[in-house]
Amino acid sequence: MNFLSALLFICLTILVYAAMIRVYKRFPSPILVPIATSTLVMISILLFSHYSYDDYMRGGSWLSTLLGPAVVALAYPLYQHRKTLRSFFVSILTSVLAGTTAGLISGIYLAWWCGLDEKIILSLAPKSVTSPVAMSISSLNGGIPALAAVYVMVAGISGAVFGPILLKKLNITNSIAIGIGLGTASHGIGTSKASEYGELESAISSIAMTLSAIFTSLLCPFFLHFLF
């Protein structure tokens, strides 16, 4: 029964996501990005059914195991644009470092200024990196890994929804700048959004996401040390 339930939720998740992609293509609005709308639909289904989140994760955990291969697959566009990456490597490195630092400082100290609990701050700190890395950083620093994963999703969806709007308002059209911004701030979800702009944006976003994870792993304990 557990196997059938897990299989049901896997199929349902894929069908919902496919449907939301069709909706997004029909109405290409930033607030209708598939990752956000499909998440809301699945939450609604769980709320109005007798199934719990634990029931859903019997199948959801299988999908989570595919995150690793999915991230590795991002190496392909990196290889395709390796000459461009070499040409702009210093600019990419410094930009991602600046973005990572700004994201850490703003998130940690704004949460501290608002008087949030220490556990929440420790869980929120690595919000801008991919889920497996954020959960590991949170666990090592004394936070709550599951809560860190929630903040990662919020950061990713927010970046995918509001990132294009902000880029348009600021008249940012450079492919490398777009990739760095989305990859640094919104990890894998941002990279998925960057792929809509083009292969170069996707490649730059992939490396920005990777560098951001490395920098966050090194800098997060440093900033938290001064706060607690």
Per-residue pLDDT of the chain (228 residues; tens, 9 = 90+): 577 777 888 888 889 999 999 998 888 877 788 888 888 898 888 888 877 777 777 776 677 677 667 666 766 766 777 787 788 888 999 999 999 998 888 888 888 888 888 888 888 888 878 777 788 888 888 888 878 888 888 888 888 888 888 998 999 999 899 999 999 988 888 888 888 888 888 888 888 888 888 888 888 888 877 766
**Interatomic CA distance for residues 182 and 193, integer angstroms:** 8
Question: Where in the chain are the domains?
Answer: 1-65, 81-227
What length is written for the chain?
Answer: 228
**Interatomic CA distance for residues 185 and 191, integer angstroms:** 10
* Residue 102: both structure tokens together: 């700004």
**Around Cβ 135, how many Cβ atoms within 10 Å?**
21
Q: Would you say 186 and 159 are in contact if contact means Cβ atoms under 8 Å apart?
A: yes
**Around Cβ 208, how many Cβ atoms within 10 Å?**
29
Q: How many helices (H) and strands (E) does the chain have?
A: 12, 0
**Interatomic CA distance for residues 32 and 80, integer angstroms:** 30
Q: Would you say 187 and 152 are in contact if contact means Cβ atoms under 8 Å apart?
A: yes
Over the Cα atoms of the chain, what is R_g? 18
* Residue 9: both structure tokens together: 């939720």
Please state the pTM of the whole predicted model: 0.77
